Amino acid sequence: MDRYVIAGFPVKHSRSPAIHSRFAAETGEPVQYDRLEIAPGTFAAQVRAFAVDGGKGCNITVPYKLEAWQAAVRRTPRAELAHAVNTLRFDADGWAGDNTDGAGLVHDITVNAGVPLKGARVLLIGSGGAGLGALGPLIEAGVAELVMVNRTIAKAEEAVARHAALAQAHGVSLRAGALEEAGSGHDIVVNATSASLAGAGSPVAASALRPGCLVLDMMYGPAARPFLAWAREQGAVTRDGLGMLVEQAAEAFQFWRGVRPSTDGILAALRAEVDAA
């Protein structure tokens, strides 16, 4: 069996082992997938120990996506721009890093939700590890306009500056702002903040939403509910982060194994579990 883990702190409740086990069964790939809880300050040492012990790669979650980016000797272009890595592959000549979060988000919006990104006006809230991975793939999906807002404006400005050339190449109008500068009437609004974990209200004003727009929270379960309930009150169609979670996992599986598993079955099974909880 080739061994992989989800590395983070905490990882107790991660659904990645269930998702990847299902992918392995479906594709026939000899993959075993477990959790690796990593105490603060020990990321590189613990991942190295796992690799030396025969591990083939890992997914990375909060709070280690930047450290994983630093640890990779080679990065895919989308990971390079994101300054965040959620997937490492232990190649013979060093660790290769990818960021599959944004591709998972784009796949979930366009394929699972059936909402076109091409020509859309999109608001992305949050410039942490989750938000950073989304910027490049949203640009490449051909949105017309992309606004990244964040509580700490400097982080949004830095991320937008890094993606300026890509945006120009794709004819996308890209800007950064404070939460109060979200603008109005967006077609798609993505919440990549952890504001709801802190019990905070919506990070942006209702005017940011066009009636009937799609509002997606990258979280799922109880953490996503208050923000999505607020968005529905404003007339939005809402979606949690479960589809994105499954799709980013499928992209990671492909990065490791060269085959993209189908996601319909596992998404429906997880949806039933999460909605019942």
Show the site string, 201-220: x = touches ligand ATR by CB under 6 A, - = not.
--x-----------------
Beta bridge partner(s), residue 194 = none
- Among positions 53-112, residues that touch ligand ATR (CB under 6 A) are 62
Beta bridge partner(s), residue 175 = 147
> What is the CA angle 40-45-50, rounded to 5?
110
Show the site string, 23-52: x = touches ligand ATR by CB under 6 A, - = not.
------------------------------
What are the φ/ψ torsions at residue 187 (nearest 5 degrees)?
Answer: -80, -35
Q: Are 5 and 17 in contact (CB under 8 A)?
A: no
State the virtual CA torsion across 125, 127, 131, 133 in degrees, nearest 10: 150
Whether 89 has a binding-site annotation, put simply, is no
Catalytic residue, from 12, 56, 65, 118: name it.
65
Closest listed residue to residue 84, CA positions, set 136, 13, 23, 18: 136
Q: By CB under 6 A, tell whether 168 contacts ligand ATR.
A: no
Given candidates 8, 97, 104, 131, which one binds ligand ATR under the rule CB under 6 A?
A: 131
Q: Min. distance of Cβ 89 from ligand ATR in angstroms?
A: 21
Q: Min. distance of Cβ 93 from ligand ATR in angstroms?
A: 29
Whether 25 has a binding-site annotation, put simply, is no
Q: Min. distance of Cβ 265 from ligand ATR in angstroms?
A: 27
Strand residue runs (E) in the chain: 2-8, 31-37, 57-60, 74-75, 87-91, 94-98, 121-125, 145-149, 173-177, 186-191, 209-217, 237-239
- Binding-site positions for NADP(+): 126-130, 150-155, 218, 241
Residues that bind ligand ATR (CB under 6 A): 62, 126-131, 150-152, 155, 192-195, 198, 200, 203
